[in-house]
Chain A
């Protein structure tokens, strides 16, 4: 009885220590968040380039040391919807939440390598837009990234695409609406609509079944 009591005490002590370590790690994250939320943006420069097919807005945000561009198709549908839907000069700004922690997203995504992209504009874009973004401070050339969307209403992470390759420190991806997105080099395990690697699953499961049947036959023969 004494032995069991000791085991219980030691186990509970270990569990409490593990819980405390977890809380210390979480507290460290929240501290960074408060510090960074105090900063605000100021200097921003937007230049516009028009070609036959596309309109590109290049944004240099000196306050955040950010360079990125938006590319829209140069067609009538875009031009008319632009007037009705958004003040493009003001709403093209985005923030890269590299260091600050977004508590809602952090609750869902623990990937340390994540890069949260938050747009000033919220809601649907007039048309599909291509975004080119400098991520050289976070990712190396050749790295393949996953793009996820943070659905604030449902409080969940939704898979958009993978295989976004970092070239010359920049990446390109397309979106149709603005909100919060996040990039990671590894998959977010519990995101909605993650790509399912059915082939690997089938191969592994066939191997498992073969091993189980083999073990059954071998033991039965003995």
Chain B
């Protein structure tokens, strides 16, 4: 019964994550008002998700803090794998398949507009919302760890660029996102702590930001 409750809660969170952005203006919209509306509503959504999983999140924060240095080291190692892996994947895509993807363009775009928006959206809203939805929700529902890692990574990749797929060529751009999803899901599976993939992705975002400046 406990599992059923977790699953229902998870499916509800996933549905909200999918449906709410569909009703919102694009985050890359030229209209500043649209941007604030988008960021405000996504922030409220994140607060709702945190409220739904507050007990588990508090438990994870305490567990992470208990072995803080060790967990930071592990997260840094996963980030290094993520950064180097994505660099290799993007080089292969460009050189072999002549396909490019840009995982830093949102950061570049927001960096040009407003550094405050960048920090709020990329480093808080997007980071935590994605980890709650694609790591926490999927792991709660899918108990087979291999199925969880593969399925959650594919759905994560699709949610990142699914809107934009209009040709078979665009499907190649799923690969880097799926790779990122696998690393994040493995880090969560191994640590059993939601803060780990959050910190891994935080390091990755910082790397992208430093490269963009």
Contacts and interface: CB of A to CB of B under 8 A. Distances in A.
B158 interface: yes
B169 A186 contact: yes
A14 B80 contact: yes
A24 to B, nearest CB: 11
Contacts of A212: 7, 10-11, 14, 138, 141-142
B126 interface: no
A200 B70 contact: no
B165 A11 contact: no
Contacts of A117: none
A11 B161 contact: no
Nearest to A111: B100
Interface residues of B, number: 60
A197 B162 contact: yes
A120 interface: no
Given A14-B81, A107-B112, A201-B162, 15 more contacts: A14-B84, A15-B207, A17-B84, A18-B87, A109-B102, A109-B105, A110-B105, A112-B94, A155-B109, A155-B112, A156-B109, A189-B164, A191-B28, A215-B142, A216-B8
B163 A201 contact: yes
Contact of B28 (A15, A113, A192): A192
A154 B30 CA distance: 7
B138 to A, nearest CB: 8
A187 B170 CA distance: 7
Contacts of B163: 194, 196-197, 201
Chain B, interface SS category: helix
Nearest to B148: A215
Interface of B: 3-4, 7-8, 10-11, 14-15, 18, 22, 26, 28-30, 69-70, 73-74, 76-77, 79-81, 83-84, 87, 94, 98-102, 105-106, 108-109, 112-113, 138, 141-143, 151, 155, 158, 161-167, 169-170, 173, 203, 207, 210-212
Q: Size class of A's contact patch?
A: 35 or more
Given A110-B105, A189-B105, A190-B105, A22 B14 contact: no
A177 to B, nearest CB: 15
Contact of A14 (B83, B106, B138): B83
Interface of A: 4-5, 7-8, 10-12, 14-15, 17-19, 21-23, 107-113, 144, 151, 154-156, 158, 162, 185-187, 189-198, 200-201, 204-205, 208-209, 211-213, 215-216, 219-220
